[in-house]
Structure 1
Amino acid sequence: MVILLWVVLILFSIVKTKIVHYSSLCYFPLTYLAALQLFRVWRNKEPFGWSRFLLGGLGTLLALIVMAVPVLGMNIDLLRPLTAQDAFAAANLNAEVHWSGIEMLAGALLLAALIMGHVLHTKGRYRASILVIFGGGALFVTTTLFFFINRIEGYSQRATIEFFEARQGEKCYVITKNYKSYAHLFYTRKPPVTDPRAHDEQWLLSGDVDRPVYVVCKTTAAEEVRAIPELKELGDKNGFVFFQRYR
């Protein structure tokens, strides 16, 4: 497992094509080695050793980052200088996303679990320490998903999802231009097209189509799409620009 882990890490560092599936192969040896360490601690009632400090350090860093995200969300202007060179990211920050501060609870739960686990470990209660950290980790993941997923989506793609959902029930084609996404295939709730021409972008943009065509692109590609004479701009929102082509 150690060999597999290092092979994947080294190859992923060397190859130029950074596909997440490559690095995902690390999960198998990592989880095995982690389980092996936990089994040793549980069976022999031994201390964690150096992994205790690594877990504490990384876990604390993660908890602090998660706790900082709501603060940044409530003070979004602090992030704008970081997006000065990225028009799309800057437009994403214009999304109306509500942060109350209660979202910090997710990071606080993880931090509390780490502290409690450390205290139990120093008292020699190694099994109890494992259970507390596992339980705290489970609560951390659950609360993070609950508090953050919908809000992050608000910045990254809610504008497009709302647009796609508005096309449900309408006889039309919906495509994205100059960026890849499956969102329009899911949120428009449309059955697979039977006309093979519908898979041809050029036909959809300038051919003899049988229904309206909607095109979505990022603001960074808007000028290129605006140059297509058949398309009429409908508007833009949070980094995305929407176009329509009539029959």
Structure 2
Amino acid sequence: MILSCSIFLLFNKKYLSLKQIIYFILPLIIVSSPWYIFELVHKGPWFMVEFVQYQLELFSQPVAGHKQPLYYHFLVVLIGCIPFSFLGLRNALKDSGSEIIFEKLMRILLWTVLILFTMVSTKIIHYTSMSYIPLSFLAAVETYKIFMGKSLKRVLKIPLVILSSCMGLFIAIILYLLTYKIDTISSFITDSNVKDVLNVELFWYGWEWIIPLILVAANIIWLIRINTNIIKYLASFSILIGLTFALMGHYIVPKIEMAIQGDAIKFYEDISNEKKYITTVGFKSYAHYFYSQIDELDSSDQLYITKSEILNNYFSSSSLNDLNRNEKNKFNGYVLNWLINGKNDRTSYFVTKKSRPIKQLEKSKNLKLVKQTANYQFYKREIK
């Protein structure tokens, strides 16, 4: 936001007085200071330093494992914000002539967010969520102009209808095949892991594939009636799109989630009452922290003692926060090795992706493969 405002002032050759700068900065400090003060008091300055370093790493390297092509965020915003992305497109590229100063700021904010996070090596879908606000405003300006008598350009109307209709048809076909023709899909797939996911038993009502067709129907109605009352049918079009995704979120997305990680969540819940250590190997996840209800370590736990010894012996440090990212990776390797081969005081569990087998786990005589699902493998080490 500060960067966008600075660019706005630079383009408009405006200079702020000291009083205006104070009025701008003071609310930022008031809103954010409780969080910063809390972190400084409880964790010291290391957290702020680590936060800045991590942001720099996100900018320069795909450290979160989400490297995507340059056009990624543009595509996400264009498809994910239908129909506003198309309505706001023209005003995003050139001034609408409204002479609204706030419109200029919104245009600058939109492009600042998109360009900045396109430059960032780590690209995650929610990084450009800040662009939704300016894009909606620019679309609202265009909608008002249409309300005042301007016609919607074919170059925007036709691609909007085609893209959203294709999305609806594609999703409907996929859902129909998953519901009624799962064997047909499996016959074309050679990857055994994907086949295992498809074979996960899910409960389908049988009509879920009709939900995306609401989007197709909305396009047809809007295309036919657009010249009669464009605002009325634009509002109806937007409502039907929202209804489509709301119904998909309720009836379809949970089933997909269950197929992908439902088995892992069930396993975590099954061992939630045990006194154990648990870690993921070869992939990142927070699910096991929540669903398996991991206990907070204290100074009497052997893992706590071992971590302290590793920090002291290998890194001459008393805190994990003093290590850089490479050192933390090495530290995690030492901890994993101890969990597999060391003298444990608790049962230990290791979770890995079936598609990414870990040789260290497979070859260890201390571990037993206790469960294998479509996506995951679960190893267990008993206390000796």
Global fold match (TM > 0.5): yes
Q: 1:219 aligns with which of 328, 351, 354?
A: 354
Q: 2:294 aligns with which of 181, 190, 195?
A: 190
Structure 2: gaps of 5 or more residues: 1-105, 308-331
> Residues 8 and 129 of structure 1: is their aligned pair in 2 closer, same or farther, counting only changes over 3 Å?
same
Q: 1:209 aligns with which of 344, 347, 359?
A: 344
Aligned partner of 1:131 in structure 2 is 235
Q: Are 2:213 and 1:77 equivalent residues in the alignment?
A: no
Per-residue deviation, residues 9-41 of structure 1 (Å, max 9, x unmatched): 566666654343545454344333323322322
Per-residue deviation, residues 125-167 of structure 1 (Å, max 9, x unmatched): 0121122112212211111111211110122111111111101
Report sequence identity in percent.
29
Tell me the amino acid that sits aligned with residue 144 of structure 1: M
> Residues 79 and 6 of structure 1: is their aligned pair in 2 closer, same or farther, counting only changes over 3 Å?
farther
Distance in 1 (alpha carbons) for counterparts of 2:130 and 2:363: 43
Residue 218 of structure 1: CA displacement?
A: 1.3
Residue 117 of structure 1: CA displacement?
A: 2.3
CA contact (8 A) 1:87 1:219 kept: no
CA contact (8 A) 1:73 1:99 kept: no
CA contact (8 A) 1:231 1:243 kept: yes
Distance in 2 (alpha carbons) for counterparts of 1:135 and 1:19: 27
Q: Are 2:369 and 1:233 equivalent residues in the alignment?
A: yes
Q: 1:114 aligns with which of 219, 226, 237?
A: 219
Q: Are 2:270 and 1:166 equivalent residues in the alignment?
A: yes
Residue range with higher mean Cα deviation, 87-96 or 18-27: 18-27
Residue 66 of structure 1: CA displacement?
A: 2.1
> Residues 208 and 89 of structure 1: is their aligned pair in 2 closer, same or farther, counting only changes over 3 Å?
same
> Residues 107 and 20 of structure 1: is their aligned pair in 2 closer, same or farther, counting only changes over 3 Å?
closer
* Deviant stretches of 4+, over 4 Å: 1-16, 21-26
Q: Secondary structure at the match of 1:242?
A: strand
Aligned partner of 1:179 in structure 2 is 283
Tell me the amino acid that sits aligned with residue 239 of structure 1: N
User: Which one has more relative contact order, counting CA pairs under 8 Å at least 6 apart?
Assistant: 1
Distance in 2 (alpha carbons) for counterparts of 1:9 and 1:91: 38
CA contact (8 A) 1:45 1:126 kept: no
Distance in 2 (alpha carbons) for counterparts of 1:202 and 1:236: 22
Residue 7 of structure 1: CA displacement?
A: 6.0
Distance in 2 (alpha carbons) for counterparts of 1:81 and 1:35: 48
Q: Are 2:131 and 1:31 equivalent residues in the alignment?
A: no
Per-residue deviation, residues 57-105 of structure 1 (Å, max 9, x unmatched): 1211111122112212122233336642x44333222211233431023
Distance in 1 (alpha carbons) for counterparts of 2:184 and 2:136: 37
CA contact (8 A) 2:110 2:131 kept: yes
Distance in 2 (alpha carbons) for counterparts of 1:36 and 1:202: 60
CA contact (8 A) 1:67 1:108 kept: yes
Residue range with higher mean Cα deviation, 155-164 or 192-201: 192-201
Residue 238 of structure 1: CA displacement?
A: 1.0
Tell me the amino acid that sits aligned with residue 270 of structure 2: A
Structure 1: gaps of 5 or more residues: none
Distance in 1 (alpha carbons) for counterparts of 2:295 and 2:152: 54
Per-residue deviation, residues 195-232 of structure 1 (Å, max 9, x unmatched): 53577333322222211011111113335121122211
Q: Secondary structure at the match of 1:79?
A: helix
Larger Rg: 2
Q: 1:104 aligns with which of 200, 205, 209?
A: 209
Tell me the amino acid that sits aligned with residue 212 of structure 1: T
> Residues 202 and 24 of structure 1: is their aligned pair in 2 closer, same or farther, counting only changes over 3 Å?
farther
Distance in 2 (alpha carbons) for counterparts of 1:108 and 1:18: 31
Distance in 2 (alpha carbons) for counterparts of 1:47 and 1:22: 33
Residue 4 of structure 1: CA displacement?
A: 5.6
Distance in 2 (alpha carbons) for counterparts of 1:87 and 1:180: 22
Tell me the amino acid that sits aligned with residue 183 of structure 2: D
> Residues 22 and 205 of structure 1: is their aligned pair in 2 closer, same or farther, counting only changes over 3 Å?
same
Distance in 2 (alpha carbons) for counterparts of 1:211 and 1:113: 57
Q: Secondary structure at the match of 2:349?
A: strand
Coordinate RMSD, CA, aligned: 2.7
